[in-house]
Amino acid sequence: MIASEQAGALVDIACAGVTKTFRDFWMRPRVRAVEDVTFEVRRGEIYGLLGPNGSGKSTTIKMLLGLLRPSAGRIAILGKRPRDVATKRLIGYLPEESYLYRFLSGRETLDYYGRLFGLDRRARRDRIDMLLDMVGLEAVQHRPVGEYSKGMQRRIGLAQSLINDPQLLILDEPTSGMDPVGARQIKDLIATLARRGKTVLLCSHLLSDVEDLCDRVAIMYGGKIRSAGTCDELLEQRHATVFEAGEMPDAVVAEVRQLLDRHHIPLTKVEHPRRSLESLFLEVVERARSEGVRTFGAAGGGPVAGFLAEDPTSRVDGHPAEQTVAEAVDAGLIDSLTRR
Amino acid sequence: MALPLGLAVPTAAAALLWWTGRFVAATAIAGAVSLVVGFLLGIILLRTVLSSGYGVIGVARTVVEEAVGTRVPLILLMLVMMGLPALPLVLDPTERLEYRMQFFLNWGLSGAGFLLAMVTLVLACGSVCGDIDSQRIQMTLVKPIERWQYLFGKWLGIVLLDLVLVGLAGIGIYAFTQALRRSPEIDRADRRAIEQEVLAARSSTRPEHPQREDFTKALAAAAAQMEKDDPSSFAADPAGARRRIRSQQLLEWHTVRPDVVSSYLFTGLDRAGAESQLIQLRLKPFAINVGIDRADVRFAMWLNERPFPMRDGRHEEFTFASGSFHTIALPSSAIADDGTLLVTIANRNLVPPGETEATGISFSPGKGLEVLARVGGFEANLFRALVLAWAKLAMLAAVALAAAAWLGFPVAVLTGLMVYVAAMAQGFLADAIDAYTGLDAADASFVAMVRLRSTMLRERLDALQLWEAAKTVASFIADGFLALVPSFGSHDGVTQVATGRLISWAETGWGLLVLAVAYPLVFLVVGWFLLERRDLVNVSGP
């Protein structure tokens, strides 16, 4: 049995009572950015971490990634401590901004991160080709990243986070700075990866993105989790009921109103639904593309990169992903987390 | 397109200058173009070498790309590439060619060493501090790479780049030295000096006392006498006291009193006798007991008890200006079969006007009296000097990375600069600290120095000399800092090459071990320790 398995589900991220206090040069406490945060993310789940600026989301993520040391509490990532190097082979991370070497081209940037994962030359070349096609940067792959627009930098940032075919993907504001087309592609990609068994921790200000994608969410404020649960649990409003029907003449509406009156149920709103601006925008862009209108910069993204679209039990660096996680589990660490 | 054009224009200019007879300027421009081309080829070579898929190699390659892609290191590199070809242009053609070549070698190697040290410092500090400040380090350290691997990768990239740059500087120095060698000499002695004293690798042999056992016994007796006469002073620093007695006895032995002969035994000259026809006795005599600056000294000499030199059946004497280095060419046939050469010197000074006795002659123990023999060529010697120069850069890179792992860019560069200056001028700084605190601890070991300073601090505090006590504390800190930094002077290749002295493979190997392995290991471990404990993300809240 895998120690990080709870109630029949694998737990890829487990945080228990995590607190982070930043200190000044003289080691005096300066800011308590995160306080007693406890949550877990299961295998194949899309988990949303929400909160306004300064609520502690990014600090929490950086502790999960081993970039910051928690002042208190425990963290297990894929059953291991966050600083464990072997576990990092299975993690993809997109920070809130794309911190890239400005002098490297898009291709060189992906090549650099591919090397850090120990990928051989052929694997790097194949994966980079697929990722550049996927994020629509094939045409500008030899331009220095410093010359990219913010959206293009986000795209190359997303590509680098996927180069190792990660089991766990941590995305901090993935759609920030992206146009609606790119944002839609990223949302589709996240959904696809989750269907393939990948685990996604999504941190975003765009609540509609989170609502569309996430299985469960946690809302942070002041360094603490204030509310957590599935989207249905948190968002369902049982005091109202919505019907959707075909176009209805005024006479039929009047009949429905009378029926509801008989049951003492007030009809508060009758209106025709509007399509979303996003769907209109995507339709306009798609029409322009089909007419062959040229654009500069990032092209429309291609299909999901082949090496990502494999079965979730696909091999990671020569080992089945499932097995790698199982082997990497630190039983003592997980036990200590589950006892809390 | 811009690059080929940028190279084609100066190449055409060099050709035009050559055609119009301005050979030196043409050579300088052609040299600069060659160095730039060499640099570009070197970068291609490094990219090929660093093409494998290991994390450390990936970090190393990114450092090389950073050096190429950012401007500050490139500007310093251009200074090296432009400075070297420009150096021959500033030499005075009426000066002796020997001095011009020594000047070029000295300044070429020192200047390139200094500029490359600055490149190394800026690149190392800029690379790590830039990663941390711009938060790029997050993107790297969330990948499967340890923090020590990240620092080691940075160091590897920098030292490999330094290897290319030092190699280019070496090729440039060698090429321009050969160009200078073909310049017209002042006279035949000038040409002979160039070939035998500059473009050569000469081993140096210092004398032994012919009666070694007697000399050792005399040292022991003098130490015993001092212990008896001044037991407290001797007990404070016995090793230092013995070193001082030895220095006094050596000076006494290197002093030739009027109408007295002194002998100096040089051993191990078998190889020198076999490889060269001429060997050299290099000496720096001082006239003692006389108030005249640069008074002449006069002496007669015997080699293995045969008078030298003999001319027309007469034993000739030497007359040299006091306080300057002089070189006497000796036939290697004078060396005995067992590789020994006994040099006997008799004082033939006259009695100066107003004095009652002739002046004595003294040679500084060490470089003041030595036999030099050609044992190798200039090329191999220059190569070894370049290896030592690279080793120094390797150490400096590790220092800069360790500083940058903890400090911001400006402070890290200043820290690296401080270590560089301390390493370059360690002897001078140690003397300056002693002079500052009024303590003569030049010959003392580190432990003895600590003991002496502790005693001095206690005495000054007892006497309520608080300012003097504070100076003693400051000297403690300064001495402690110097003890952590290696002396580049102990691994000097520049002076050796410029004066045609051999840098042995043993010295080179030891220099590599100390400067390119041991010290970098220590500094990288320190850097890793600091980086490991550092939070790499700052708070973004209030």
C-alpha torsion sign, points B506, B507, B508, B513: positive
Residues 69-88 of B with CB under 8 A from A: 69-70
Tell me the CA distances in angstroms from A157 to A121, A137, A180, one per residue in order: 20, 11, 17
What are the start and end residues of each CATH 2.60.120 domain in chain B?
212-377
Q: Which of A208, A218, A100 is nearest to A160 (CA)?
A: A100
Axis crossing angle, helix B378-404 with helix B97-133, rounded to the nearest 10? 20
Give the gap in angstroms from C-alpha B44 to the nearest C-alpha of chain A. Answer: 15
Any idea which residue has 């301005």 for tokens? B22
Q: Smallest Cβ distance to A33: which of B68, B536, B539? A: B539
* Mean pLDDT computed over A97-102: 86
Asked if B136 and A100 come within 8 Å (Cβ–Cβ), the reply is yes
Last residue of a domain, one of A144, A164, A184: A164
Determine the Cα–Cα distance for residues B452 and A125; give it in Å rounded to an integer. 65
Same domain, A191 and A127: no
Q: In this predicted structure, which of A179-193, A287-301, B280-294, B363-377 has the lowest mean pLDDT?
A: A287-301
Asked if B138 and A95 come within 8 Å (Cβ–Cβ), the reply is yes
Interface residue B138 vs chain A (CB under 8 A):
yes
Higher pLDDT, A309 or B449: B449
Domain for residue A218, yes or no? yes
Domain for residue A217, yes or no? yes
| Residue B183 CB-density burial (10 A; 0-12 exposed, 13-18 middle, 19+ buried) | middle
The pLDDT of residue A340 is 42
Determine the Cα–Cα distance for residues B482 and B486; give it in Å rounded to an integer. 8
β partners of residue A144 = A105
Domain that holds residue A176: 1-90+166-240+329-340
Same domain, A183 and A84: yes
Determine the Cα–Cα distance for residues B204 and B370; give it in Å rounded to an integer. 6
Asked if A96 contacts B31 with a C-beta cutoff of 8 angstroms, the reply is no
Interface residue B445 vs chain A (CB under 8 A):
no
Spatial neighbors of B394 by CB under 8 A, at least 6 apart, are B155, B159, B162, B515, B516, B520
Asked if B143 and A113 come within 8 Å (Cβ–Cβ), the reply is yes
The pLDDT of residue B277 is 65
Q: Which of B505, B440, B513, B443 is nearest to B475 (CA)?
A: B440
Asked if B53 and A118 come within 8 Å (Cβ–Cβ), the reply is yes
Asked if A54 and B540 come within 8 Å (Cβ–Cβ), the reply is yes
Asked if A115 and B140 come within 8 Å (Cβ–Cβ), the reply is no
Cβ-Cβ contacts under 8 Å between A and B: the total is 109
Q: Smallest Cβ distance to A22: which of B68, B145, B539? A: B539
Same domain, A74 and A156: no
Residue positions counted in chain A: 340
Asked if A101 and B62 come within 8 Å (Cβ–Cβ), the reply is yes
- Kindly state the tokens that stand for B16: 């035009």
Tell me the CA distances in angstroms from B144 to A81, A208, B54, one per residue in order: 13, 33, 10
Higher pLDDT, A131 or B445: A131
Same domain, A124 and A232: no
Where in chain A does DSSP place strands (E)?
5-6, 9-23, 29-42, 46-50, 72-77, 91-94, 168-172, 199-203, 216-221, 224-230, 315-316, 319-320
Three-class DSSP category at B43: helix
Q: Smallest Cβ distance to A69: which of B65, B142, B535? A: B535
Domain for residue A292, yes or no? no
The pLDDT of residue A338 is 43
Q: Which of A291, A297, A269, A287 is nearest to A152 (CA)?
A: A297
Same domain, A117 and A132: yes
Where is B247: in which H helix or E strand? helix B238-253
Interface residue B537 vs chain A (CB under 8 A):
yes
Same domain, A80 and A214: yes
Same domain, A2 and A86: yes
Domain for residue A25, yes or no? yes
Tell me the CA distances in angstroms from B186 to B97, B189, B191, B192, one per residue in order: 7, 8, 8, 11
Query: What DSSP state is assigned to residue B198?
Result: I
- Is domain B212-377 in CATH 2.30.30, yes or no? no
DSSP structure string for A148-209: S-HHHHHHHHHHHHHTT--SEEEEESTTTT--HHHHHHHHHHHHHHHHTT-EEEEE-S-HHH
Residues 82-111 of A with CB under 8 A from B: 85-86, 88-89, 91, 93, 95, 97, 99-104, 108
Domain for residue A18, yes or no? yes
Strand order in the sheet with A46-50: A91-94, A168-172, A199-203, A46-50, A216-221, A224-230
The pLDDT of residue B276 is 66
Determine the Cα–Cα distance for residues B53 and B157; give it in Å rounded to an integer. 15
* B chain contacts of residue A89, beta-carbon cutoff 8 Å: 144
User: At residue A2, does pLDDT exceed 50?
Assistant: no
Asked if B537 and A104 come within 8 Å (Cβ–Cβ), the reply is no
* A chain contacts of residue B62, beta-carbon cutoff 8 Å: 101, 104, 112
Give the gap in angstroms from C-alpha B542 to the nearest C-alpha of chain A. Answer: 7
User: At residue A313, does pLDDT exceed 50?
Assistant: no
Spatial neighbors of B340 by CB under 8 A, at least 6 apart, are B265, B266, B267, B269, B304
For residue range A260-269, what is the model confidence (pLDDT) as tens digits?
889 888 888 8
Asked if B283 contacts B369 with a C-beta cutoff of 8 angstroms, the reply is yes
The pLDDT of residue A55 is 81
Determine the Cα–Cα distance for residues B523 and B525; give it in Å rounded to an integer. 5
Q: Which of A60, A99, A115, A125 to mutate to test the interface with B (most CBs of B within 10 A)?
A: A115
β partners of residue A217 = A48, A229
Domain for residue A258, yes or no? no
Averaged pLDDT of chain A: 78
Spatial neighbors of B395 by CB under 8 A, at least 6 apart, are B423, B486, B515, B516, B519, B520, B523
Axis crossing angle, helix B147-181 with helix B97-133, rounded to the nearest 10? 160
Q: Which of B503, B238, B516 is nearest to B383 (CA)?
A: B503
Query: What DSSP state is assigned to residue A144?
Result: B
Last residue of a domain, one of A113, A144, A164: A164
C-alpha torsion sign, points A316, A317, A318, A322: negative
The pLDDT of residue B177 is 86
Same domain, A173 and A75: yes
DSSP structure string for B163-193: HHHHHHHHHHHHHHHHHHHTSPPSSHHHHHH
Determine the Cα–Cα distance for residues B402 and A182; give it in Å rounded to an integer. 41
Spatial neighbors of B198 by CB under 8 A, at least 6 apart, are B98, B101, B102, B105, B378, B498, B499, B500
Backbone angles phi, psi at A231, to 5 degrees: -60, -40
Asked if B295 contacts B354 with a C-beta cutoff of 8 angstroms, the reply is no
Determine the Cα–Cα distance for residues A14 and A201; give it in Å rounded to an integer. 12
Which CATH number goes with the domain that contains A67?
Answer: 3.40.50.300
Asked if B61 and A113 come within 8 Å (Cβ–Cβ), the reply is no
Same domain, A183 and A58: yes
Same domain, A19 and A124: no
Any idea which residue has 């020569």 for tokens? A318
Confidence of residue A314 (pLDDT cuts 50, 70, 90): very low
- Kindly state the tokens that stand for A159: 């590509």
Higher pLDDT, A334 or B67: B67
* B chain contacts of residue A68, beta-carbon cutoff 8 Å: 535-537
Q: Which of B249, B207, B190 is nearest to B368 (CA)?
A: B207
Distance, C-alpha B458 to centroid of its chain: 37
Any idea which residue has 């940037």 for tokens? A109
The pLDDT of residue A7 is 53
Per-residue b/e over B257-282, b at no fewer than 16 CB within 10 Å?
bbeeebebbbbebeebbeebeebbbb
* A chain contacts of residue B136, beta-carbon cutoff 8 Å: 99-101
Domain for residue A211, yes or no? yes
Same domain, A132 and A7: no
Domain for residue A279, yes or no? no
Cis, peptide link before residue B410, omega less than 30° from 0: no
Residue positions counted in chain B: 542
Same domain, A182 and A80: yes
* B chain contacts of residue A97, beta-carbon cutoff 8 Å: 135
Q: Percent of chain A beyond pLDDT 90?
A: 5
Domain total in chain A = 2
Give B194's Cβ-side CA count (13 Å radius): 23
pLDDT in tens, chain B (542 residues): 566 666 777 778 878 877 877 776 777 777 777 777 888 888 889 888 888 778 889 899 999 888 887 766 667 667 776 777 777 777 777 888 888 888 889 988 998 899 899 989 999 999 999 999 888 898 898 999 989 999 999 999 999 999 988 998 888 888 888 888 887 888 887 888 888 888 888 888 888 887 778 888 888 888 888 878 877 777 777 777 788 888 888 888 888 888 778 888 888 887 766 666 678 889 888 887 655 555 788 888 998 888 888 888 888 888 888 888 888 888 888 888 888 888 999 888 777 666 677 788 888 887 888 988 888 889 999 999 999 999 999 999 999 999 999 888 999 999 999 999 998 888 788 777 777 777 666 666 677 777 777 888 888 888 878 888 888 888 778 877 888 888 888 888 888 898 888 898 999 999 999 999 999 999 999 999 998 888 777 655 44
β partners of residue B369 = B283
Asked if B539 and A59 come within 8 Å (Cβ–Cβ), the reply is yes
